[in-house]
Amino acid sequence: MNTIHAIAIVVLKEMIRRKDFYVLFILTALITLLMGSINIFNDASIAGYLKELALLLVWISSLVMAITTTARQLHAEKELRTIFPLLAKPVSRAQLLLGKFAGCWIACGLSLFVFYLFLGIVAASREQSLDVGAYTVAFLLHWGALAVVVAMALLGSVVFAAPSSNGTICFIVAVGILVLARHLNTVALQMDGVMGKITYAIYYLLPRLDWAFSVRQFLIFHDPMPGFAVWAQAMLFYGSYSALLILAAWLLFRRRALTT
Amino acid sequence: MSAPILSFVLLAVSCFSLATWVGPRFEASQSRRGVGHGALGNMLGDSRKLFADHFFTRSDVYFHSGYYPSMFDKVKLKENHLAAGAKTAKCEHDHAHEGPCEHDHGHQETKPEPKTEKHGEAEHVHGEHCNHGEEETDFLGKPKDYFDGFSRNFFVTKHTHLTEKGTNAAREILPWIKLAAQLDPRKVESYTVGAFWLRDLKRDAEAEQFLREGLRHNPESHEILLELGRGYVARHDYERARNVLEMAFRRWREQENSKPVEEQNRFAAGQILNNLVLVEDRLGHRDQAVSWLGIVRKISPHPEEIDKRIAEVRAGQPFEAQ
């Protein structure tokens, strides 16, 4: 456990040193504030469009951060050859993967917290009220979904040769899931034969990142968030899916030659 | 002069001549395409109309608090409509041979009618999914599987309207309408719908300003003039309302008179004329009001009702716009 914790701390410190988060945060804040400064029929309390835009930017930023940070972890260790002394400590490959996962996920969570804090401040300044509970649920679901994304990128860094290809593929898959996963069953039912069955199977196999993505609507339209039981099931789903992906990454990584 | 200098002069003269020929044509083509209207217009070109449509639909999504069919749901609905249409066609066939059948005939529209619905009018904010049939109000249907049922906890599955969420909640629609109007200033609906909601929010000055902006881009639009007239009627500024509404009716005649009766937007004409009757009535010009009612009678599907109104106005009873 200490080993995993130590590796995670290293990843976290690296994230703090790098400029990714700062650039993404400043960009998000700038675009949001710029859009907020637009005069819409002299009404400064309109908040829906601003929340929608800010939430979209937060999602994009979080995906970029989670994928790019995770995708380069193993490759950087291999390229700098620091993976050899690390594994000779002794640190097992499973511990290395778990440490990297935990570090990336916690780093994503911390940066996500800053994003949501900013979002809450913007929304509260416009609406003169803030539903902290709703924002907390949205944040936790978002963080849970990022666990799957981080695990997916970690698996990708074992499968793919370069961080760039891994990052691109993970990003396409994640965006595809966010946009299409919810409708895949409708599409499958409109298809005939084997293709329909295959599409339905894919629908069942996909990690449902869209659940966390869709709750943005509740924040925008002030609808009640999902109850605790539903939220807990979703988090359990994300946790289980992440565990499966990490297991798959470990199965592939445990016998893989480290020399490139 | 040496040959190189002469060549250079010839080249410069050719370039100048070409520029004088190309320049005006390029400017003419740009103005035809409507390019050059702000940074957005320059950046997006003609595709801005697509974005404008998208953002206008977005305002409708907001009106329905996010309860809106996706493009996949729309395909499903379209298929259901086609199936219903086929069923109706089969029934019509069966009627000829076997007698009546029992299913719903709600979709049976075989004869084109003059446009009398509110589509395109300011009150009609809905987009493509407005309630034309039972299945469209519940486009989600029953959950198809466990995952589908569980997923419904994470998005809006209850049909509510922004207007039910407080008196000022409808203002959330406005940014999208303004954006749609900026992207496609020729989209008349953006201005009429925007003005309707602004007036609903008691923002008459902003509504008038927005409509005047729309009128600058669409000087031929009778819809915008009608909305402008309505605004003046609401503010009891009857003289200006009359001028604007008369202009609206002139525009309507210019555009619609040449069309076949079944293609004419008679609902819009009815709206303009009703408001004109109201204005003349409020100004005490009963004869003029009756004269306008006479025109309403010609286009109305219920002339007997209009006769009653004419009698009421002649008897000195106040006219209430229908």
> Is the distance from CB of B200 to CB of B166 less than 8 angstroms?
no
Q: What is the pLDDT of residues A57-104, one digit of tens each?
A: 999 999 999 999 999 988 888 888 888 888 887 888 999 999 999 999
Shortest distance between the Cα of A132 and any Cα of chain B, in A, equals: 18
Report the distance separating Cα B123 and Cα A104, nearest Å.
51
Q: Give the minimum alpha-carbon distance from B171 to chain A in angstroms, rounded to a whole number.
A: 7
Judge residue B19's burial from the number of C-beta atoms within 10 Å of its C-beta, 0-12 exposed, 13-18 middle, 19 or more buried. exposed
How many percent of chain B have pLDDT more than 90? 30
Which residues 129-168 of B have a C-beta within 8 angstroms of A? Answer: 144-145, 147-148, 150-151, 153-156, 158, 162, 165, 168
Residue pLDDT, tens place only, A136-167? 999 999 999 999 999 999 999 999 888 899 99
How far is residue B203's CA from residue A235's CA, in Å, rounded to a whole number? Answer: 45
Q: How confident is the model at residue A236 (pLDDT cuts 50, 70, 90)?
A: very high
Do the Cβ atoms of B154 and A185 come within 8 Å?
no
Q: What is the 3 state secondary structure string of chain B?
A: CCHHHHHHHHHHHHHHHHHHHHHHHHHHHHHHHCCCCHHHHHHHHHHHHHHHHHHHHHHHHHHCCCCCCCHHHHHHHHHHHHHHHHHHHHHHHHHHHHCCCCCCCCCCCCCCCCECCCCCCCCCCCCCCCCCCHHHHCCCCCCCCHHHHHHCCCCCCCCCCHHHHCCCHHHHHHHHHHHHHHHCCCCHHHHHHHHHHHHHCCCHHHHHHHHHHHHHHCCCCHHHHHHHHHHHHHCCCHHHHHHHHHHHHHHHHHHHCCCCHHHCEHHHHHHHHHHHHHHHHHCCCHHHHHHHHHHHHHHCCCHHHHHHHHHHHHCCCCCCCC
pLDDT category at B25 given cuts 50, 70, 90 is confident
Q: Is the pLDDT of residue A53 over 90?
A: yes
* Residues B35-85: tens digit of each pLDDT: 445 666 677 777 888 999 999 999 999 998 888 888 887 776 666 655 665
Count Cβ neighbours within 10 Å for each residue of A156-178 and write b for 16 or more, e otherwise.
Answer: bbbebeebeebbebbbebbeebb
Which among B66, B79, B145 has CB closest to A221?
Answer: B66
Could you read off the pLDDT of B263-304 as tens digits, one per residue?
Answer: 888 888 889 999 999 998 888 888 888 888 888 888 888 888
Q: CB–CB of B197/B170 below 8 Å?
A: yes
Classify residue B240 by burial, with Cβ atoms within 10 Å: 0-12, 13-18, 19+: middle
pLDDT digit string (tens) for A17-47?
888 899 999 999 999 999 988 888 888 888 8
Q: Does the pLDDT at position A126 exceed 80?
A: yes
As separate numbers, helices (DSSP H) first and strands (DSSP E) second, chain A gives 12, 0
Q: Rounded distance, CA A61 to CA A23, Å?
A: 10
How many residue contacts between A and B have a Cβ separation below 8 Å? 87
**pLDDT above 80 (res B137):** no
Mean pLDDT of B13-18: 91
Lookup result for tokens 């290809």: A165
Q: CA distances (Å), B135 to each of A184, B117, B123, in order?
A: 21, 20, 23
**Closest to A22 measured CA to CA, from A152, A114, A137, A147:** A114
Q: Which residue has the tokens 């190309």?
A: B22
For residues A155 and A182, the answer to whether their CB atoms sit within 8 Å is no
**Looking at residues B1-19, what average pLDDT do you find?**
87
Residue A240: partners with Cβ closer than 8 Å, 6 or more residues away: none
- Measured between alpha carbons, how far is B14 from B31 in angstroms, rounded to an integer? 26
pLDDT greater than 80 at residue B27: no
* Residues B178/B195, Cβ–Cβ less than 8 Å: no
| C-alpha to C-alpha distance for A191 and B200, rounded to whole angstroms | 45
Q: Name which of A32, A38, A41 to mutate to probe chain B: the one with the most chain B Cβ atoms within 10 A of its Cβ.
A: A41
Query: Measured between beta carbons, which residues in chain B are less than 8 angstroms from residue A227?
Result: 153
User: How confident is the model at residue B217, as a pLDDT?
Assistant: 93
In the numeric block, the tokens 């592939």 are attached to A252
Residue scoring higher pLDDT (B170 or A116): A116
Q: Is the pLDDT of residue B322 over 70?
A: no
- Closest by CA to A142, choosing from A225, A58, A68, A218, is A58
Q: Which residue has the higher pLDDT, B156 or B136?
A: B156
Q: How far apart are CA B307 and CA B288, in angstroms?
A: 15
Lowest mean pLDDT among A50-64, A217-231, B140-154: B140-154
Report the Cα A134 to chain-centroid distance in Å.
19
Closest-CA residue of chain B to A51: B172
Confidence bin at A133 (pLDDT 50/70/90): very high
CB contact under 8 A, A221 and B65: yes
Please tell me the distance in Å from A135's CA to the nearest CA on chain B: 14
Average confidence (pLDDT) over B225-240: 92
Higher pLDDT, A64 or B138: A64
State pLDDT tens for residues A174-211.
999 999 998 898 888 888 889 999 999 999 999 999 99
How confident is the model at residue B116, as a pLDDT?
Answer: 42
The pLDDT tens digits for A248-258 are 999 998 888 77
Whole-angstrom distance, CA of residue A154 vs CA of residue A170? 10
Mean pLDDT of the A105-113 span: 95
Put simply, the answer to whether B178 touches A218 (Cβ < 8 Å) is: no
